């Protein structure tokens, strides 16, 4: 077999970025993207919980192409606190009753939906109808069917939709993509990956309510491990078989605690994954014909580290959220598709839907 030409990390990242934007979008988006040169695009955060306050808002102080222009919150005290902390004008502060009037605000170009999962579909669709481009946090929705509705609504409104997959902009992860997809060490034959943490938070939190979260550790943490297998191989899984355990059923009465799965890929690789709200995991390990590579930590906000054939990758960490949001702002300005569009979120939810079916049936379930 003719060997594929070697691809450097720099070349892979550059080409991936070009290909991600190769799909042309509608003239309406191109027209909307004719913005004042050098103008930062305004982002409004919808939902001011821990991720918005701890990660996104600080990242927006470092972004080059966008800035924190507005907020949407149902808590007046948060509105006051954020306005003072981030110098947000009163006209750019909304609650959930006044949200739709954001359509009339030219300061807001992009809406970032950072709400409980059950609200993602509603506010993504309402944001698109208001004429705003949308970033929706992961997991995209409660199920794949809801994802398709969100994608259709954004297309109908000629607005771009991106999912908050920050790791696609992170250099360790991009190196894993290069090593796996370009078969730098030969064909990948095996992947083992897991993500989770021991939940010690509020027992009444929305994340533990099935109606609000859609599920537990699988939806919140397992989605990273599913992504890890998919982007390492550059393939879509065909079927899945899953099992679960609960050691704290009183806390996880409505949602899954720990889930284990095996995925079938077209290339025949052995791929196993696991997620948990009761174990501190965060790794991705891949074996190939001519070696191995791994990340551990693999999915955190910072401190990622990796090895190739046992030797350190020696890649610096970056502000992942800043890179993610800056990239989407560039996509909006240029009128090109995000490298993590709604379709990417739908693919993960197809896998998660199949995992939950397998937990019920005890059998292999087809994905799709």
**Could you say which of 1.20.1440.120, 3.40.50.720, 2.70.150.10, 3.40.50.300 is the CATH number of the domain covering 16-166?**
3.40.50.720
Q: What is the pLDDT of residue 2?
A: 37
Q: At 122, is the pLDDT very low, low, confident or very high (cuts 50, 70, 90)?
A: very high
The token duo for 152 is 């259709």
- The residues that are catalytic are 138, 224
What does pLDDT average to over the chain? 93
Judge whether residue 121 has pLDDT over 60.
Answer: yes
Q: State pLDDT tens for residues 353-362.
A: 999 999 999 9
Pick from 117, 278, 96, 112: nearest CA to 206:
117
pLDDT, tens only, 241-250: 999 999 999 9
Distance CA 329, CA 63 (A): 10
| Structure confidence by residue, pLDDT tens digits, 142-176 | 999 999 999 999 999 999 999 999 999 999 999 99
Q: How far apart are CA 190 and CA 261, in angstroms?
A: 14
At 21 the pLDDT is: 45
pLDDT at 268 over 50: yes
The domain segmentation of the chain, as residue ranges, is 16-166, 171-314+342-366
Q: What is the pLDDT of residues 200-248, one digit of tens each?
A: 999 999 999 999 999 999 999 999 999 999 999 999 999 999 999 999 9
On the question of a common fold for 16-166 and 171-314+342-366, the answer reads no
Angle at CA of residue 66, ends 63 and 67, nearest 5°: 85
Determine the average pLDDT of the residues in 305-328: 98
Please give the Cα distance from 346 to 146 (Å, whole number).
9
CATH superfamily ID and name for 171-314+342-366: Dihydrodipicolinate Reductase; domain 2 (3.30.360.10)
- pLDDT on residue 38: 76
For CA atoms 167, 169, 170, 175, give the dihedral sign: positive
Asked whether the beta carbons of 146 and 171 are under 8 A apart, the reply is: no
């Amino acid at each position: 077999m003719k060997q594929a030409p070697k691809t450097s990390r720099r070349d892979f990242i550059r080409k991936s970025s070009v290909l991600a934007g190769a799909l042309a979008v509608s003239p309406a988006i191109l027209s909307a993207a004719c913005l004042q040169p050098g103008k930062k695009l305004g982002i409004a955060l919808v939902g001011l919980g821990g991720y918005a306050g701890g990660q996104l808002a600080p990242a927006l102080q470092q972004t080059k192409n966008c800035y924190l222009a507005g907020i949407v919150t149902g808590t007046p005290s948060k509105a006051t606190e954020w306005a003072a902390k981030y110098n947000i004008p009163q006209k750019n502060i909304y609650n959930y009753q006044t949200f739709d009037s954001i359509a009339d605000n030219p300061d807001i170009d992009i809406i970032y939906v950072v709400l409980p999962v059950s609200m993602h579909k509603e506010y993504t669709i309402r944001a698109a109808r208001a004429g705003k481009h949308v970033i929706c946090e992961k997991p995209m929705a409660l199920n794949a069917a809801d994802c398709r509705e969100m994608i259709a609504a954004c297309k109908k409104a000629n607005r771009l939709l991106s999912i908050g997959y920050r790791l696609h902009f992170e250099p360790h992860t991009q190196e894993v993509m290069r090593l796996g997809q370009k078969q730098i060490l030969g064909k990948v034959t095996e992947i083992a990956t897991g993500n989770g943490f021991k939940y010690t938070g509020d027992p009444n939190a929305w994340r533990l309510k099935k109606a609000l979260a859609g599920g537990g550790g699988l939806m919140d943490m397992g989605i990273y491990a599913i992504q890890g297998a998919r982007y390492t191989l550059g393939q879509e899984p065909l079927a899945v078989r899953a099992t679960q355990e609960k050691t704290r059923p009183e806390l996880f009465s409505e949602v899954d605690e720990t889930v284990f799965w095996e995925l079938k890929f077209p290339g025949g690789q052995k791929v196993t994954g696991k997620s948990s709200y009761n174990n501190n995991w965060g790794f991705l390990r891949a074996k190939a014909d001519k070696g191995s590579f791994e990340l551990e930590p693999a999915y955190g906000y910072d401190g990622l580290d990796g090895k190739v054939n046992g030797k350190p990758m020696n890649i610096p960490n970056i502000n992942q959220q800043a890179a993610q949001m800056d990239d989407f702002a560039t996509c909006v300005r240029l009128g090109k598709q995000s490298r993590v569009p709604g379709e990417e979120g739908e693919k993960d939810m197809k896998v998660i839907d199949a995992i939950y079916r397998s937990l019920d049936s005890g059998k292999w379930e087809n994905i799709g």
